[in-house]
Amino acid sequence: MECQASFNNTIVTVTDVRGRVISWSSAGTCGFNGTRRGTPFAAQTAAGNAIRTVVDQGMQRTEVMIKGPGLGRDAALRAIRRSGILLSFIL
């Protein structure tokens, strides 16, 4: 799982072991416009949307890679931890 947090947007990508994309979401696709895309709440919403589909498919454990200086870094990580998925590694 990868979270790219910039000052303008947050993109969360969920991949399998081989690196193929299973699910993704961003603050922009969740309906946030303009400067609101860079907020922690938008990042939390984007992470929740990306994770919801893989949890329904049975994903139980993940490794998280966080990139970027944006405000959504911590909020996205909190949303991932609340989803019930075990975090084995955080980069």
Whole domain around residue 70: which residue ranges?
2-90
Longest CA pairwise span in the chain (Å): 34
What CATH number has the domain bearing residue 17? 3.30.420.80
pLDDT at 1 over 90: no
pLDDT digits (tens, 9 = 90+) for 8-64: 999 999 998 898 999 999 999 999 999 899 999 999 999 999 999 898 888 888 889
Distances (CA, A) of 32 to 35, 46, 90: 8, 10, 27
Structural domain total, the chain: 1
Q: CA–CA separation, 69 vs 82, rounded Å? A: 22
